[in-house]
């Protein structure tokens, strides 16, 4: 019997396949240029990634977490819409999670965090029919950061990350990317920016990122404001984790990281970033319910405040001077913001649901240029929410934020069994409060990576509470000890 192997030797089949692929690539390149060939070459990897995500949806969620640290900065290197990659990864992960999840997993979604964010999301969907809205396309682009990312991140974290080991991975990813970001920022400040970053500065970013001849380091984040707040956030988290039940060498590591991130926060020149660790540490001291320590903490914060407000200590240091200006009520930048808020108050007096999501800021300038909301700087995250969703939307949004904070506080107070889990939960909640507080000065809460880690943090607090309920009293799980 003559087999196919005898008619077509194996080597001939392989050569033929290679030739066929080469011809196909040549045809694609001729028709679509190199981009088409690149897409064709990437196809097997895309298929492999989809297979892996549908097999284990956690891969998709951790992809989002990792991408969140640098995706906004890619605008300096390419005009490709990399921001939409977060949407794609979240959607794929959500579909995979819903297909994989069992009925018992959905019990995790029955909690105040999900209810509060669901109300806010429904309100944002309702904003699509706001008669003041100028563009449905602008709504689509803007609503992602305002609501859709938030609810997907909370739901996916609750459904997929149901093991303390995953909380450990979350912290490690966060710390590692923050170290890389801080090192890159130091490189920018001390060795200079690269070609693409210089082009970005020359295109207009220099107005806010070079002050008095000094660069405000921005790393590979969207801007210096986001970078500074993110550094303040991870600084606070590392500091609180260091107070946990660790060996001395682990505490020492956290203290070193906290000092490192403090300098990262300082070289960003972001004045509002100072309020992330200051407000967050007060929340932590309250959560400890040790009112003696709380009193000492208040005194220390008060001394730091007085040093910045009423003395000239550190006047020769540019970073200290930038922090000091944050406490100056006559600061020109603050006065401009106050004047803009007065304009918004008059404009929104007859618009209780605002001008529509996507009508203010960069999306407004892109889709409805020349309008009042597009041309008036919002600066603050809450002013942006107020401008786009009105006083009603602002209260709904604040209701969601306060629900997170109050629920998180109650859950942490109820945690009694696992000391390390409780310490982690306190770090997560304190960090979220710090970011929420600092968002009054900058649009931090809805941007990556702060928004991503912040809303995943809320889900992890609920999960930590449930893990603590199942733990034996007075134990410290080895899995949750960060080493």
Those residues with Cβ within 8 angstroms of residue 45's Cβ, 6 or more apart along the chain or in another chain? none
Average pLDDT rounded to a whole number, residues 240-246? 90
80 vs 322, more confident: 80
Instruction: Give residue 3's pLDDT.
Output: 46
- Token digits of residue 174: 């966060």
Q: Mean pLDDT for the chain? A: 84
At a CB cut-off of 8 Å and minimum separation 6, what does 81 contact?
none
| pLDDT tens-digit readout, 290-344 | 777 667 667 766 776 676 665 666 555 655 665 656 555 566 666 777 788 888 8
3-state secondary structure the chain: CCCHHHHCCHHHHHHHHHHHHHHHHHHHHHHHHHHHHHHHHHHHHHHHHHHHHHHCCHHHHHHHHHHCCCHHHHHHCCCCCCHHHHHHHHHHHHHHHHHHCCHHHHHHHCCHHHHHHHHHHHHHHHHHHCCCCCCHHHHHHHHHHHHHHHHHHHHHHHHHCCCHHHHHHHHHHHHHHHHHHHHHHHHHHHHCCCHHHHHHHHHHHHHHHEECCEECCCCCCCCHHHHHHHHHHHHHHHHHHHCCCCCHHHHHHHHHHHHHHHHHHHHCCCHHHHHHHHHHHHHHHHHHCCHHHHHHHHHHHHHHHHHHHHCCCCCCCHHHHHHHHCCCCCCHHHHHHHHHHHHHHHHHCCCCCCCCCCCCHHHHHHHCCCCHHHHCCCCCHHHHHHHHHHHHHHHHHHHHHHHHHHHHHHHHHHCCCEHHHHHHHHHHHHHHHHHHHHCCCCCCCCCCCHHHHHHHHHHHHHHHHHHHHHCCCCECCHHHCCC
Task: Decide if pLDDT at 4 tops 50.
Answer: no
User: Of the spans 290-299, 355-364, 408-417, which averages the highest pLDDT?
Assistant: 408-417
Given a cut of 80, whether residue 238 has pLDDT beyond it is: yes
Tell me the range of 79-83, 190-194, 305-309 where mean pLDDT is highest.
Answer: 190-194
For residues 21-44, average pLDDT: 58
Which of 362, 363, 349 minimizes the C-alpha distance to 136? Answer: 363
Q: What percent of the chain has pLDDT over 70?
A: 80
Q: Which tops the pLDDT comparison, 291 or 213?
A: 213
pLDDT in tens, 420-474: 999 999 999 999 999 999 998 888 888 889 999 999 999 999 999 999 987 666 5
Q: Pseudo-torsion of CA 36, 39, 43, 45, nearest 10°?
A: 150
Question: 62-71, 114-123, 148-157, 464-473: which has the minimum mean pLDDT?
Answer: 464-473
> pTM to 2 decimals?
0.86
pLDDT for 479:
45
pLDDT of residue 450: 93
The lowest-confidence range among 49-53, 234-238, 251-255, 396-400 is 49-53
Say what the pLDDT of residue 23 is: 58
Q: Where are the domains of the chain?
A: 1-54, 103-480
Q: Look at residue 297 in the predicted model and tell me its pLDDT.
A: 66
């Amino acid at each position: 019997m003559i087999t196919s192997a005898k008619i077509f030797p194996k080597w001939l089949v392989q050569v033929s396949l290679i030739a066929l692929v080469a011809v196909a690539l040549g045809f694609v390149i001729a028709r679509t240029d190199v981009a088409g060939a690149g897409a064709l070459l990437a196809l097997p990897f895309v298929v492999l990634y989809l297979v892996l995500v549908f097999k284990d949806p956690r891969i998709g969620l951790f992809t989002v977490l990792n991408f969140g640290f640098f995706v906004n900065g890619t605008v300096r290197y390419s005009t490709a819409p990399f921001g939409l990659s977060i949407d794609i990864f979240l959607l794929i992960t959500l579909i995979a999670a819903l297909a994989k999840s069992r009925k018992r997993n959905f019990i995790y979604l029955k909690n105040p965090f999900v209810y509060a964010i669901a109300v806010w999301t429904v309100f944002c969907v309702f904003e699509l029919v706001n008669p003041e809205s100028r563009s449905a396309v602008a709504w689509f682009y803007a609503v992602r950061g305002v609501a859709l990312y938030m609810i997907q991140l909370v739901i996916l974290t609750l459904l997929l990350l149901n093991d303390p080991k995953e909380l450990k991975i979350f912290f490690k990813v966060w710390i590692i990317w923050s170290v890389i970001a801080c090192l890159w920022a130091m490189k920018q400040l001390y060795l200079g920016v690269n070609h693409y970053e210089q082009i970005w500065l020359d295109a207009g970013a220099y107005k806010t990122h070079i002050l008095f001849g000094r660069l405000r380091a921005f790393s590979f984040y969207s801007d210096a404001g986001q970078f500074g707040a993110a550094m303040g956030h991870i600084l606070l988290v590392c500091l609180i984790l260091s107070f946990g039940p660790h060996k001395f060498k682990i505490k020492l590591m956290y203290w070193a990281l906290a000092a490192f991130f403090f300098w990262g926060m300082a070289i960003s020149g972001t004045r509002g970033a100072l309020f992330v660790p200051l407000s967050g540490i007060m929340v932590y001291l309250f959560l400890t319910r040790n009112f003696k320590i709380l009193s000492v903490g208040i005194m220390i914060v008060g001394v730091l405040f007085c040093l910045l407000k009423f003395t000239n200590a550190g006047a020769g240091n540019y970073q200290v001077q930038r922090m000091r200006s944050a406490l100056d009520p006559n600061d020109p930048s603050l006065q401009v913001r106050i004047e803009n808020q007065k304009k918004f108050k008059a404009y929104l007096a007859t618009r209780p649901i605002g001008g529509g999501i996507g009508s203010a800021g960069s999306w407004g300038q892109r889709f409805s240029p020349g309008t009042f909301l597009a041309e008036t700087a919002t600066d603050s995250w809450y002013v942006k929410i107020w401008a786009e969703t009105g006083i009603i939307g602002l209260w709904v949004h604040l209701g969601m934020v306060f629900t997170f904070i109050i629920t998180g506080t109650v859950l942490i107070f109820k945690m009694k069994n696992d000391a390390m889990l409780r310490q982690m939960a306190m770090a997560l909640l304190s960090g979220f409060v710090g970011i929420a507080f600092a968002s009054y000065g900058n649009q931090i809460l809805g941007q990556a990576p702060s928004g991503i880690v912040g809303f995943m943090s809320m889900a992890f607090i609920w999960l930590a509470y449930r893990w603590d309920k199942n733990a034996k009293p007075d134990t410290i799980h080895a899995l949750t000890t960060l080493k």
